[in-house]
Structure 1
Amino acid sequence: MDEPFWKTKPLAAMSAAEWEALCDGCGKCCLAKLEDEDTGEIHWTSVACRLFDAGLCRCTDYANRLERVPDCVRLTPDNVATIAWLPATCAYRLVAEGRDLPAWHPLVSGRADSVHEAGVSIRGRVTAFEEECDEPEAYVAHILPEEP
């Protein structure tokens, strides 16, 4: 039996469809994160991007997100290893580190909802959207005790 593509191909060799399939749909990338200027520590919040659909756990305008949200980050094979805030569960990070995907990942389970059923996604955990946080201090009230 052939090995799955994420076990045999480096990120840079993946097709566009394979690259997109690696995303587990957790939505963690769409949460605001605060970085401590002194320590570099990342603090996760439960504040979602204005384009995030909290019920579907998806971007409502994925194709145009980079134009509509100036601080949205496009993940690439070149930058996934350098982005400190990528969650420990992120498939791009796992593959870049030479690790396998967890059993709940949709590519492994064969079901898109497995990420939500495993409690890995942010579905049901968004407490605000960025447009509701007009001052930087407003995000502080939504800091999570740990990475979601």
Structure 2
Amino acid sequence: MIDPDFWKYKNLAEMSTEEWEALCDGCGKCCLHKLEDEDTGEIFYTNVACRLLDLHSCRCSNYHNRTYKVVDCLKLRKELKEALKWLPTTCAYRLINEGKALFNWHPLISGNAETVHLAGISVRGRAMMESQAEDLEDHIVDWPVNR
């Protein structure tokens, strides 16, 4: 059992694996395909999800084997510095890294994994599977960043 307030006094590097995993709000935004402008480095989100993302739970359907099944899937803890440039502003990892508090809809605050969905933060009902999308450029959206 972890201290329910661990995130208030620990930085990301100090967190145990269990605490790190509990910090994920389950929004699924990190599993959306993103495009990067080669000239400017600007990141563009799409509404196209990785083939392993369960679009209802907004969790990876094969989390422990994801980096073997999806070549460009990152292990966020190991590659956080790279990921911070594209994690949404609502992401708990980004918030904690920036010394900010979690939002009230975060499951660690609300005590309910559904609040991220009820608050309209997750990809539930807004994303599609990659098998349904042809050209990623046709699926660029701004909601993952702005909400």
TM-score by length of structure 2 reads: 0.89
Deviation of 1:81 after TM superposition, in Å, equals: 4.1
Q: Give CA-to-partner distance per residue, 1:73-117, whole Å, 9 cap, x none.
A: 1111x6434421111011011111111111110000010000001
| Alpha-carbon distance, 1:14 to partner | 1.0
Map of 2:27 onto structure 1: 26
Aligned partner of 2:63 in structure 1 is 62
| Number of matched pairs | 142
**Rounded Cα–Cα distance in structure 2 between residues aligned with 1:61 and 1:145:** 27
CA distance in 1 between counterparts of 2:116 and 2:132 reads 27
Query: RMSD value over aligned CA atoms?
Result: 1.7
Q: Percent identity?
A: 56
Classify 1:94/1:49 alpha carbon distance in 2 versus 1 (closer, same or farther; 3 Å): same
**Residues 98-117 of structure 1 correspond to what in structure 2 (within 5 A)?**
98-117=99-118
1:37-116 equivalences in 2 (<5 Å): 37-76=38-77, 79-83=79-83, 84-116=85-117
Unaligned runs of 5+ residues in structure 2 are: none
Gaps of 5+ in 1: none
CA distance in structure 1 between the aligned counterparts of 2:107 and 2:56, rounded to whole angstroms:
18
Structure number with higher helix proportion: 2
Residues 43-63 of structure 1: CA deviation (Å, up to 9, x unaligned): 110010011111121111001
